[in-house]
Every structure is written in C-alpha cells, then in structure tokens.
Amino acid sequence: MLQGFKVIELATQIAAPGAGGMLAEWGAEVIKIENRGGDPARLGFDTLTPDGQSPAFQLDNRGKRSVVLDIQKPEGREALVRLVKNADVFLTNLRPRALKRARIDWDTLKAENPRLIYASVTGYGLQGAEADLPGYDVTAFWSRGGVASIMIPKGEEPYMPRAGVGDRACSLATVSAIMTAAYERNRTGVGRLVETSLIRSGVYAIGSDLSIFMRLKRLASTRPRATTATPLINFYKSADGRWVCLMPKNLLGDWSKIATAAGRADLIDDPRFNTDRNRRDHTPELVSLLDTAFGALPFDELVRRFIEADLAWAPVQTPAQLIEDPQAQAAGCFVETPDGLGGFIPAPALPARFPGADEGPRGPTPGLGQHTDAVLAEAGYDAEEIAAMRAHGAAA
C-alpha cells in the first residue's frame, strides 16, 4: 500500500523505530541508518536465539534495510543528506541539540528537500528549557507523563512498567502524524515538521482521567479489588483458579445479569445493592459475596453464563494462553516473520489490518550494515567511492 514511499530512519530503541517498522510492513522502503555499534536495541536475548537477533528488535525493524554511516564524518553526513534528498520522510529520535550540531535538523534538511516530512520523536518535545533531556518511556511517558501515579493503588510504592508500552503508544502517534502530513503534502506539494513526544503520548493515554481533573480538580484513586470504586467493574476468580475481568456495559441494567450469572439472583433487590450508589457504599461486602459465588463455579461455566447474559468480560490471560487463544489468532494478532535463513519465526502483528491486502512483514530483520553498499550505489556512489568511504570510516 505504501509502495514508493521512502523513509530514512536515524533512530534507536523503540518509539521511532516502531513507527518505521509499521511503515515498512505496509510497503514503504525504510532505510535504517546506524552507527558502527548499531542500534542498542539489537542487544537483549540475542544470545538466546538461533539467528542472534533480539526478538524485540525484530518486531520494530523487520523488513527494513540497514546502512552504517558515521554522520560525524563529512562523507557520512553527505551520504545521509543525499539519501534524504530523494526521501518522503526523515524519521529520527536524536535529541534536538545533536541534530542541530550535526546539521541535520529540520531547517537544514528542508532546504535540501522541500517535500520532506521531518518526523521528530523526543522524550519532551522540541520547545522548553528541558527539551533536550534524554527520555525513555519509563521516564517521560510512564513517570513524568502521569501514567504511573494513577496506575499505582493508593499507599503502594511505584513499580516499573513492562518494556516498551509507552514507546509503542508513541509509535502509533508518530505514524498517524506522518501520514497526515503526507496527505497534506498531496495537496500543497510541501512537506512539514511533525513532532511527537513520549510525555505528550502519556498525557493523551490518561486523557480521560486528566480531562476530569483539569475541569473538576478531582481524581478517582486506583484501589485494590476489595475496595474498588465500582465493584461490578472488577476481577473475579473461578473455582479452577482462572481470573476473569467484568466490565458492565450498563451499570444499571447489567447488575441483575451479573447477580443471576453468579447464582445470586436474591441479591438483585437487596437494599445494600439495588442501586449503583448503594453498591458503591457496600463495595467490600458485595465483592466478598461475588468472590464466593464466582469462586464456586468452574471457568468454563462462568464463560457460558457471561456469554448467555451478553455481558462484557474477558479472561485474564498469560502470554502463553494468549498465543493459543483462537480468537486472538482469528483477529490476526500474530504473524510469521521471515528469519533471513529461509524459515519463519512467530511474532506479534501490527495493530491494524487491511482485509484484501497482503499482510505481514515484508522481509527479515536486517543485519547491521547489511545493505550499506547497495543503498549507497542506488544513491549514485560508485564502487571506488564506497570503498573510500569505508577506508575513511564514514561507512561500514
């Protein structure tokens, strides 16, 4: 779908490479520029895989081409600029000061290619006294972006999130921004600077809570199961130890369905629980009663009753259970990625699907510098020039 759309990516880790990975999977030509050490994300469980590749790195970089350039050397920088001149997008997460110092900032590159979409991914944006601070999803998205504070139950200490959660939210925002700018360019013929940041992605991720707080200066706290603000929106365990999540579509109408599914229809008109307000006022009692009722039923029976009542529910699944889930498989949650050795490896799919279009990774994850010579040749360098760049350490 994006055939002919060319992206030059100068980025490491997850948020920006994740955006480039999506574009690559949808047909764009994505050329990943790395230094001699390579993207640090290449390391991590790489020694445990037969192909020596980090599984997380593969997810964000499958189907790209890798070129090693030292942009601190004049020849390396010139090669990068030459690639950008014929590109649709320059995607980077280098900090603003470093980009300016290397003369590959927006003002410099737009003069070389007025149609260029320059996509900047940072921790804290491009303006402000702290715009140049290093930022990761744990710091900028999770911590400073307010996500951690509202996830932690009252009185508990902060905990670390799982890897890359905030990064991938920012990746989605970055792809949206790039494609919006591309649509505008179709009309105007002129590119633009687009910026996303981890902190802004974090703010948007908690937008429901934050919009309420900004308007009313009130915020519901995150509480343990037994004292949650709404007992019907909760987790309950079956007799065989499987957790399920309940999320009523309608707090008024679904109470009778939930009580009936629990085998406790006698509670429907109980004055402690017959209104949403009364249920909130008696949360510990109701949670305890539902724990006992649901805890007496095997998981399969719980599922049958929830489906029969048309309740919104879901099993709490481990990764091992998730990859065996028939519905997750039917929804296209997993793909087979070429491993570059003639085989395929299973991996998570991207979050969007285009029925009728070819789906899945376009190619394997590139080795470090695997395509340096080919890409430079396509940019007009002859074999002698490429050899000279290698000899000077500008390419590898």
Known catalytic residues are 167
CA 168 to chain centre: 2
Residue 89's beta-bridge partner residues? 7, 117
The DSSP 8-state label assigned to residue 141 in this structure reads I
Residue 90's beta-bridge partner residues? 8, 118
Question: Residues 218, 220, 223, CA angle at the centre, nearest 5°?
Answer: 155
Residue type, 236: Y
Structure tokens at 49: 């895989």
Find the distance separating the first CA and the last CA of the chain, reported in whole Å: 32
Question: Residues 317, 318, 323, CA angle at the centre, nearest 5°?
Answer: 90
- Give me the phi and psi of 7, to 5 degrees please: -125, 130
**CA pair distance 107, 17, nearest whole angstrom:** 22
CA 91 to chain centre: 16
Cα torsion through 140, 144, 150, 156, rounded to 10: 100
Q: Which segments of 26-131 does DSSP mark as H helices, in order? A: 55-61, 74-85, 96-101, 106-112
3-state helix, strand, coil in the chain (%, to 5): 45, 15, 45
Closest by CA position to 174, among listed 201, 207, 192: 201
**CA pair distance 15, 199, nearest whole angstrom:** 12
- Give me the phi and psi of 315, to 5 degrees please: -75, 145
Q: At what angle do helices 165-188 and 198-205 cross, to 10 degrees?
A: 100
Structure tokens at 285: 């009692």
**CA pair distance 202, 197, nearest whole angstrom:** 9
**Helix count and strand count (H, E) for the chain:** 17, 11
